[in-house]
Structure 1
């Protein structure tokens, strides 16, 4: 039976390999950083994903490890890590052609298939996947199958996949961890009552009887919280609990499906504007070795702002129908 913990162990092994390569290159802060994360995942404690801490590692030690990660991040530096010569990469791309897209397309395809049909798969009388949320195991399995497909298509040694993954991870540096951290903030904020505080603040500042004012507060709040937290998934539970549910849905009768769908897309406009969305905005700048780390954001702003205005208009037209 496949559980998410099994994939944590695979990830921990990859992180340990990354740490070992950094030790060999005398990049000890990087090695300690990835080694600590490997320890958390190997113990089944991806605290950065806000999973239940304390099963195999005392919560206090996990907390100390997270603080140590923050301190180590200040010692990490971005350096160019050698890769195959450009001529070799161009020749490989020409030889493989469109086959290069197969591993990338396998990830969403396998994920969707496992989510839809994974619960029906059995090995004898034993379910292939454990009960509960199957999405993360599906994505993890799809990623492993995509890596195996890439090895088969390119006919490279399996260790090359780990080496290239390590090169990418070290190129991104500590920013690779931001999506994991930021994705938890929405749940933390919602559990700590931030949604109720937002509702009280909005009710005091704007006319709650005006559905236009509430709609603007919800849409612009989604953008603002996404800019702050770097993740629309983190912003959504806060804004829905604070404005969407009590004011728009319950008081003004907004359609929940339309409000949720367009509200999320509106939040993604904030993703285009913030360095906190590291995987979208900082990582490409790092991989392209741009001198300006905010170059990607500057290019996206002329798209993000009009798109935000269009989404606000769509919400007004569709959620109150």
Structure 2
């Protein structure tokens, strides 16, 4: 019941979100959080393929399985350029998503033609895959919305006042460190460097690094995003990168991916902060 309610409410938001209004969508989000938070989502029984069968099929079809997987990004890339070169075929803003959808359909058709599974097997395995991922599948959308709310609420200005009080007056290096660490920490909280960026650029990047210290905006923004990505490597909030692979690989430790990445993320964050200090001013 929990799985059906969760995905049903999500489908409702996609189909009728504009009719529900802000308040209705807010209640829907709270319902999704309640279902996930109380542990009502889980893997439904059935659909598992024995390891021996998987090994036998992998040996039989070999690299063809990789070809099917590569069709999706190849078509997405080609379609993105095609829709831009031939205007009128699709909305240029949606070209990548449309191309991605077409790539999935082509890959499905090729796979069905070669592997000849039962007609309902793709749907059944897709359901099993989504059950394995669970609530983490919609976390990126939720966090992106949170970033927009933070920006509209003026969180960046509040954070800027707090950081400004903590940084020694006239310390360029202190401002750079605050910006880099802030990008990483806010990314860890929000799960998305793109959501953290407007907060930190409004708090430190624009008023201090760019305006006060005359920093290069391109360098500050680009390497600042890289600093944020270091935070992505260290947080379960970036579920699509860190929790989903652990679920799909059925790791015993759901945070095993993060545990391995921390050793790279921390020194890389230090290097990015150093690069902002060296190349932006």
Give deviations 1:47-76, integer Å, cap 9, x for gaps: xxxxxxxx3333332222222111211242
Per mean C-alpha deviation after superposition, the further-off stretch among 204-213 and 300-309 is 204-213
Q: CA deviation at 1:228?
A: 0.7
Output the aligned Cα RMSD: 2.3
TM (normalized to structure 2)? Answer: 0.89
Give the alignment of 1:33-44 within 5 angstroms: 33-43=6-16
Per mean C-alpha deviation after superposition, the further-off stretch among 181-190 and 201-210 is 201-210
Distance 1:141 1:209 in 2: 54
1:109 to 45, 69, 74: 74
Quick check: 2:41–2:131 contact (8 Å CA) kept in 1?
no
Quick check: 2:47–2:124 contact (8 Å CA) kept in 1?
no
Distance 2:115 2:216 in 1: 49
In structure 1, the residue matched to 2:259 is 298
In structure 1, the residue matched to 2:32 is 69
1:192 to 130, 153, 164: 153
Distance 1:257 1:137 in 2: 30
Give deviations 1:266-307, integer Å, cap 9, x for gaps: 111111111111122222222333333222222221111112
Q: CA deviation at 1:259?
A: 2.0
Indicate yes or no: 2:101 matched with 1:137: no
- SS in structure 2 at match of 1:128: coil
Distance of aligned partners of 1:270 and 1:95 in 2 relative to their CA distance in 1, 3 Å threshold = same
Give the alignment of 1:165-204 within 5 angstroms: 165-204=126-165
Indicate yes or no: 2:182 matched with 1:221: yes
Q: CA deviation at 1:238?
A: 1.1
Quick check: 1:76–1:173 contact (8 Å CA) kept in 2?
no
TM (normalized to structure 1)? Answer: 0.79
Distance of aligned partners of 1:314 and 1:143 in 2 relative to their CA distance in 1, 3 Å threshold = farther
In structure 2, the residue matched to 1:23 is none
Q: Which runs of 5+ in 1 are unaligned?
A: 1-27, 46-54
In structure 2, the residue matched to 1:6 is none
Distance of aligned partners of 1:208 and 1:129 in 2 relative to their CA distance in 1, 3 Å threshold = farther
> Which structure shows the bigger proportion of residues in helix conformation?
2
- SS in structure 1 at match of 2:243: helix
Q: CA deviation at 1:81?
A: 5.0
- SS in structure 2 at match of 1:183: helix
Per mean C-alpha deviation after superposition, the further-off stretch among 310-319 and 266-275 is 310-319
Quick check: 1:273–1:300 contact (8 Å CA) kept in 2?
yes
Distance 2:85 2:69 in 1: 25
1:96 to 58, 61, 65: 61
- SS in structure 1 at match of 2:126: helix
Per mean C-alpha deviation after superposition, the further-off stretch among 191-200 and 288-297 is 288-297
In structure 1, the residue matched to 2:273 is 312
2:5 to 25, 29, 32: 32
In structure 2, the residue matched to 1:119 is 84
